[in-house]
């Protein structure tokens, strides 16, 4: 017997953007599953808003399979999936490490960010669509959290920017296939939302007019949930979109910003 209330899974729901979406859906009486790798923040976030916590490492297939399977077995439906968990990585594949220099040989880089920010999302979309097809009324909504870094080059974070760009084309590509099962897949590209993903205080580096309130992202998520005509869409959620475009138009300005960002 399927649950009466709609059911949502939100990865990375213990904090920042994910928690804001979870909180909003709870106020609308959804059953919300917060899936996060961090058991401390995950449990406390879920308890504070009346959600369910499922400890999940999205970069493990088994962990995500258990999340989706348990949810569907318990509630008999899945209406919404936010593939939102993500990590930033400023690792450079250009710089040579001391060890590499010593050995005079390049070492295979460990690219965790690709596992979390891209591969895990592909797995999540596969799992979500599998269960959404099995809803009593076939279908559901999937939203991926990409980034403005997926739209504009970001020399400080090339791996992150690469993964976030890949998400955009992945979502747009799968959306037409999934439409036949009434599964809508859309993408959100936030910029400069003050969350824990930034070490330190974002406002120390960027003027207030560039900071995007988390409520802007929640509104965009809601539009994708509510508007049944939307699939394969990409929305940029930046308080000042012009600012980011300018970084691309004027590389020297971008360089200055990068230096500020890395605290130089």
Listed residue (115, 51, 45, 129) closest to 86, CA to CA:
115
By the rule CB under 6 A, 122 interacts with ligand NAD: no
DSSP state letters, 72-139: HHHHS---EEEE---------SSSPPHHHHHHTS------HHHIIIIIHHHHHHHHHHHHHTTSSS--
164 is catalytic: yes
Q: Select which of 164, 178, 221, 243 is catalytic.
A: 164
Q: Select which of 75, 160, 178, 221 is catalytic.
A: 160
Whether the Cβ atoms of residue 135 and residue 79 lie closer than 8 Å to each other: yes
By the rule CB under 6 A, 220 interacts with ligand NAD: no
Q: Which stretch binds ligand NAD (CB under 6 A): 9-17, 22-30, 74-82, 92-100?
A: 9-17
Reported for 36-45, long-range contacts at CB under 8 A and 24+ positions apart, including other chains, are 36/11, 36/12, 36/85, 37/85, 38/14, 41/14, 41/15, 42/13, 42/14, 44/14, 45/13, 45/14, 45/15, 45/19
Q: Of these, 39, 173, 176, 196, which contacts ligand NAD (CB under 6 A)?
A: 196
Q: Of these, 9, 85, 141, 171, which contacts ligand NAD (CB under 6 A)?
A: 85
Number of residues this chain uses to bind ligand NAD (CB under 6 A): 29
| Cα–Cα distance, 17 to 13 (Å, whole number) | 7
By the rule CB under 6 A, 67 interacts with ligand NAD: no
Q: What is the DSSP letter of 28?
A: T
Distance in Å, CB of 259 to ligand NAD, minimum: 19
Dihedral through CA 202, CA 203, CA 206, CA 211, nearest 10? Answer: 80
Distance in Å, CB of 23 to ligand NAD, minimum: 12
By the rule CB under 6 A, 124 interacts with ligand NAD: no
Site pattern 86..105 for ligand NAD (x: CB under 6 A)? xx------------------
Q: Of these, 71, 84, 129, 254, which contacts ligand NAD (CB under 6 A)?
A: 84
Q: Of these, 9, 183, 193, 225, which contacts ligand NAD (CB under 6 A)?
A: 193
C-beta atoms surrounding 122 within 10 Å: 15
By the rule CB under 6 A, 17 interacts with ligand NAD: yes
69 is catalytic: no
- Residue closer to ligand NAD by CB (options 86, 140) is 86
| Cα–Cα distance, 257 to 264 (Å, whole number) | 10
Q: Of these, 7, 8, 10, 36, which contacts ligand NAD (CB under 6 A)?
A: 36
DSSP state letters, 41-80: HHHHHHHHHT-EEEE--TT-HHHHHHHHHHHHHHHS---E
Q: Which stretch binds ligand NAD (CB under 6 A): 174-182, 187-195, 226-234, 248-256?
A: 187-195
Residues catalogued as catalytic: 160, 164
Binding site for ligand NAD (CB under 6 A): 11-12, 14-18, 36-38, 41, 56-59, 84-87, 116, 145, 147, 190-193, 195-197
């Amino acid at each position: 017997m399927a649950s009466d209330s709609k059911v949502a899974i939100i990865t990375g729901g213990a904090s920042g953007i994910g928690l804001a979406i979870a909180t909003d859906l709870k106020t609308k009486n959804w059953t919300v599953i917060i899936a996060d790798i961090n058991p401390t923040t995950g449990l406390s976030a879920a308890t504070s808003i009346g959600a369910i916590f499922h400890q999940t490492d999205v970069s493990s297939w088994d962990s995500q399979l258990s999340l989706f399977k348990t949810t569907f077995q318990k509630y008999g439906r899945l209406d919404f999936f936010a593939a939102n968990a993500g990590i930033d990585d400023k690792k450079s594949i250009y710089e040579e490490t001391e060890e590499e220099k010593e050995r005079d040989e390049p070492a295979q880089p460990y690219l965790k960010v690709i596992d979390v920010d891209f591969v895990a999302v592909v797995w999540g979309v596969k799992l979500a669509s599998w269960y959404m097809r099995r809803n009593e009324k076939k279908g559901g909504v999937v939203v991926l959290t990409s980034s403005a870094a997926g739209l504009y080059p970001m020399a400080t974070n090339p791996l992150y920017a690469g993964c976030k760009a890949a998400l955009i084309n992945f979502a747009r590509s799968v959306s037409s296939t999934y439409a036949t099962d009434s599964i809508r897949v859309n993408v959100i590209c936030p910029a400069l939302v003050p969350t824990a993903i930034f070490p330190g205080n974002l406002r120390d580096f960027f003027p207030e007019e560039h900071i995007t309130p988390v409520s802007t992202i929640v509104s965009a998520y809601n539009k994708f949930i509510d508007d049944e005509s939307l699939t394969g869409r990409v929305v940029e959620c930046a308080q000042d979109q012009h600012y980011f475009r300018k970084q691309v138009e004027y590389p020297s300005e971008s360089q200055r910003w990068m230096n500020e960002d890395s605290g130089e």
